[in-house]
Structure 1
Amino acid sequence: MNSNSKSTTLQLLNFKSLPIRTFWITSVAFFLCFFAWFGIVPFMPDVVRDLGLTPDQKWNSIIVAVSGTVFARLLIGKLCDKFGPRICYTWLLILGAIPVILIGFVQTPMQFIVCRLFIGFIGASFVITQFHTSIMFAPNIVGTANATSAGWGNLGGGANRLGMPLIAAAVVSFGIAETDAWRYSMIIAGVVCFLMGIVYFFFTQDTPDGNYKELKAKGELLQPKKDEVSFLSAVKDYRVWILFLVYAACFGMELTVYGTMDDYLQNTFNLERVTAGNLVLSFALMNIFARTLGGFFGDKFGKLKGLRGRVLFLAIILGIEGLMLSLFSGMTGLTLGIVFLVGFSLTVQMAEGATFSVVPFINNKAIGSISGIVGAGGNVGAFVAALVLKSKSAIAEKTAIAANQDLGQEAVEAAQAIASSQAVSSGYFIIGIFVVFTAVVSLAIKFSTEDEKAVAKEMKNIPAYS
């Protein structure tokens, strides 16, 4: 693959540029995948009522939606290295649309849980997005391109809180019963994903030089020998597992914190549910710029200090993220609490962008496999952190209920809210310390002198670089 054909700039309106067109199409595809992946969340009260879900069944559906993504991300990275991002994204969108559509037809809790498991597979779209932008953009801009495409794609996970109710309202206006609106909304989301798969096949290209199949036929794309570079070699690289831990400490913690923040804001600061929900949504929407900043500064530090500079920036921003969350956990006043929460939101998303300003330089012959492993780390982190918070909160709430059950329903609810707030607060503090620890560990990522020289040489050959 010719590195000179990669784009050295991110001119978003230059649609004549293949890398820019690819950037937009992969960002939109990622947005739609996240929109569909979390599309059922705004409708959960309707689903619980319609299907008669028990609390355990509800939690199980949430857990499998995240768990399925872990395995899908590990697999899709390896497939990208072998078949290229165009074919992988096409099939992921087309096949992933099936369970999204089918969830609109479920009649039992088990059917619902199974559909959520398979819907979770489209979360692997993140890996393909990062892979495709990594091979379309030059070293001077790849961190910014990766971070921006991922950040704008992540908006789908927040936009559905506004978009899905609007789709449901439109469905109802056509005479569909309000109780069935969630079903039709999910079917529509699935159909859109399916159509996007067709768009991806016909309007993108694997690399700036052509598609994998064509390049292989010409002998221009050398496939690594099995014993030289493979998924196994990526697994054996200690730096990959540090980045796995790093992504667990940023993206994983973002998913967990924002998934529990609505209730925490209500219980701790006595906010109304709508107010708390809007605050959390506004923090999610910071992905428009925050993640891009992480990639941008990763690239800038790379210019100043080489590959080591990218790692240094990642460690710094990750450490600040952990500090912000730990400080937020101790706040009892709303004003200061919001200040530190904004600080956490900004730095956690910047850390995500900074992570994938490092990933493309670990092993350029196995970017897909490495992206898959690191991406899976985010979901593993979210899963473990959610279990920690759930267990701490559940124990505290049960104790509070038992101690106040003779004082009336109001007293029980108040005690339960306080107990939950205190338990989650201590959980956030522990998570913050873990993030700071991970920041220190990330400094162990090293690059050889040969790697530094190779990237430096490539940077010098980029005329548009400044």
Structure 2
Amino acid sequence: MSASTLDLFSFTGKMKILHMSWLAFFISFVVWFNHAPLMLAIAETLKLSPAETKTILILNVALTIPARIAIGILVDKFGPKRTYSALLAVGSVPCFMFAAADNFEQLALARFLMGFVGAGFVIGIRMVGEWFPARQLGIAEGIYGGWGNFGSAAAAIVLPSLALAFGGENGWRYAIAATGVLALLYSVVYFFSVSDTPKGSTYFKPKKAGAMEVTSYADLALYILMSVPLYAALTLLAWKLSPTGMKLLSEPATIAAYVAIWTLFAYNVYKIVHINAEHLAQPIEAIHRYPFKQVAILDLAYLVTFGSELAVVSMLPMFFHDTFKHTGISTVQAGLLASSFAFMNLVARPGGGWLSDKYGRKLSLTICVLGCAVGYAAMSQIESSWPIALAFAVTFLCSFFVQAGCGAVYAMVPLIKRRMTGQIAGMVGAYGNVGGVTFLTVLSFVTPETFFLTIAATAAVVAVSVQFIAEPAGHMAEVMEDGSVAMIELN
């Protein structure tokens, strides 16, 4: 598949950038998920209650939603080279804090701050978009996303063994600290090994930082509307920690969290309006316009693809164990079966990008999202009477469409507006986390069957919305520093 379009064994030019960037993403995900495979040991050492353990898992994703928006703004302003290097270096600090924590409060603060590292994905989307032409963009972004995403699985495989190698009750501390050292070292390597654009190319930046520019008042209203679910998801996370949920926050602390979240939303709306007010007051030339519906539809597509992946990966091991326990399946075996869902990232994300390059962005995204709908509907029918092999096959097939859908989404993201690719990627990526939070909340109230059907129904609705997206074609216009217009090919 990729051999005909990209030389994966090359480490020069654009291929060097791709390899350096997916490895940066890989390391950021190793750091972000370094706690998960060691959580039992951590809980035992620090005498954590089950509620406190669950809180740590929630806090790991809490900051990632606003962080992806913030990182998108930073990468558009400062470039991916400086932003990725800084993120990895700064991200090592909460990693060391987590490794040195002596109580739940210290652990919780470090894990909350660690959520910022999960935003690293956004940076490479802009970097890869700068280096690869439209005809190779899908597969390049797919390789970046799929291979980098494997960092979470690598953490699960390597870190328990590393903790055992260090030995003792503090083995987990050394293993987690080692990931911080890795991130810190690679931040230096990345900075001195890459450049933001090919030689002679211009790195286009937004005129103002803080929010995306839109090109009509209707798009301005849609932008504000699409920002609401981001803050609603954060509110949902706060509710989970409240006295109504896990009782980890007091009533006053919960109210303070709600006020802080929606104050941040109000400030975001102010920035959106402020940045767009001046240029919307003047007629915008046709070549500089873009429909914000492109961003909104990709938000929804990533919500149902990556969002469902986050949710399903969390519950699948227990689902397989509970469904097939009459066969004598162990928790380890159930975990291995469930791991196939994440392992598909290695080939399916690049596959979705390749399909987009070859057969069109809209058609490929439609097929992938419809495949998600059918796949999750089929998974909702899995029961104890099924052969395990059949359940695995259905899960494997569903996973392919989910991961390929992620690849198809980001095959289109860099083709909307070059100077705002980071911000667009950030918002789309944040919607993936919104989906994860939403679907896991649904799971806490319903059976797994209803959970899978809910995702399937959501995918079917999103598949309809994808029909309103415009196939990238022709050129996008960006203004050079000297005032001339550069036309960037889209197909």
Out of 107, 131, 134, the position equivalent to 1:136 is: 131
Task: State the match for 1:386 in structure 2.
Answer: 440
Report the counterpart of residue 268 of structure 2 in structure 1: none
1:223 to 1:288, Cα distance in 2 relative to 1, 3 A:
closer
Describe the shift of the 1:85–1:272 C-alpha distance in structure 2 as closer, same or farther (beyond 3 A). same
Q: After the TM superposition, which residues 398-409 of structure 1 pair with which residues of structure 2 at under 5 Å, given as runs?
A: none
Per the normalisation by structure 1, the TM-score is 0.81
Q: CA deviation at 1:9?
A: 4.8
Q: Does 1:286 pair with 2:344?
A: yes
* 1:232 Cα deviation after fit: 4.3
Query: Which amino acid in structure 2 is aligned with residue 376 of structure 1?
Result: A
Structure 1: 5+ residue runs without aligned partners? 1-7, 303-309, 393-422
SS in 2 for 1:107: coil
1:349 is matched with: 403
SS in 1 for 2:419: coil
The residue type equivalent to 1:363 in the other structure is K
- Report deviation, 1:331: 1.7
What is residue 22 of structure 1 aligned with on the other side?
17
- Contact 1:164-1:185 at 8 Å conserved across structures: yes
Do the aligned partners of 1:80 and 1:128 also contact (CA within 8 Å) in 2? yes
Report the CA distance between 1:377 and its aligned residue: 0.7
Q: Which residue of 2 aligns with 1:397?
A: none
Q: Does 1:36 align with 2:6?
A: no
- Aligned twin of 1:445: 469
| 1:13 correspondence with 2:9 | yes
Q: Identity rate of aligned residues, in percent?
A: 32
Cα distance between partner residues in 2 of 1:206 and 1:186: 30
Contact 1:359 1:367 in 2 (8 A): yes
Q: Does 1:328 align with 2:349?
A: no
The one of 162, 167, 181 aligned to 2:171: 181
* Structure 1 counterpart of 2:330: 272
Aligned to 1:127: 122
Aligned pairs for 1:44-443 within 5 A: 44-172=39-167, 177=168, 179-209=169-199, 220-221=202-203, 223-226=205-208, 231-233=212-214, 236=223, 237-270=292-325, 271-302=329-360, 310-332=361-383, 333=386, 334-392=388-446, 423-443=447-467
Q: Secondary structure at the match of 1:205?
A: coil
Residue 101 of structure 1 and its aligned partner are, at CA, apart by 1.4
Q: Structure 1 290/250 Cα, relative in aligned 2: closer, same or farther at 3 Å?
A: same
TM superposition shift of 1:439:
1.4
The Cα shift of 1:84 comes to 0.3
CA offsets 1:423-446 (integer angstroms, 9 cap, x no match):
122211111111121111121112
Residue in 2 that maps onto 1:410: none
Deviation of 1:335 after TM superposition, in Å, equals: 3.1
AA at the equivalent of 1:276: A
1: CA distance between counterparts of 2:74 and 2:461? Answer: 33
* CA drift at 1:224: 4.1
Q: Is the 8 Å Cα contact of residues 97 and 193 (structure 1) preserved in structure 2?
A: yes
State the Cα distance separating 1:134 from its structure 2 match: 0.9
| Contact 2:76-2:206 at 8 Å conserved across structures | no
Aligned mates of 2:127, 2:205 — CA distance in 1: 17
What amino acid maps onto 1:315 in structure 2?
T
Displacement of 1:222 in angstroms is 5.3
Q: Secondary structure at the match of 1:391?
A: coil
1 CA distance for matches of 2:455 and 2:203?
Answer: 43
Q: Deviations over 1:113-150 (max 9, x none)?
A: 11111111111111011111111100000110001111
1:312, CA displacement in angstroms? 2.1
Q: Distance in 2 between matches of 1:198 and 1:157?
A: 22
> Once the 2 structures are TM-superposed, how far is the Cα of residue 221 of structure 1 from its aligned partner?
4.7
CA deviations on 1:87-128 (whole Å, 9 max, x unpaired) are 000110000011111111101111111111111111111101
Contact 1:67–1:383 under 8 Å retained in 2: no
**How far apart in 2 are the matches of 1:222 and 1:269?**
54
- Asked if 2 retains the 8 angstrom alpha-carbon contact of 1:140 and 1:459, the reply is no
Alignment size in residue pairs: 398
Rounded to whole Å, the distance in 1 between the matches of 2:205 and 2:86 is 22
* Cα displacement (A) at 1:245: 1.3
For structure 1, which segment, 276-285 or 83-92, has the greater mean C-alpha deviation from structure 2 after superposition? 276-285
CA distance in structure 2 between the partners assigned to 1:50 and 1:387 by the alignment: 29
Offset at residue 391 of structure 1 (A): 3.0
Distance apart, 1:16 and its partner CA: 2.6
Are the aligned partners of 2:205 and 2:420 in contact in 1 as well (CA < 8 Å)?
no
Deviation at 1:75, TM superposition (A): 0.6
Given that 1:385 and 1:431 are in contact with CA atoms closer than 8 Å, whether structure 2 keeps it comes out as yes
- Give 1:435's aligned amino acid: A
Distance in structure 1 (CA, Å) of the matches to 2:339 and 2:207 = 47
1:454 to 452, 457, 475: 475
Q: Output the aligned Cα RMSD.
A: 2.1
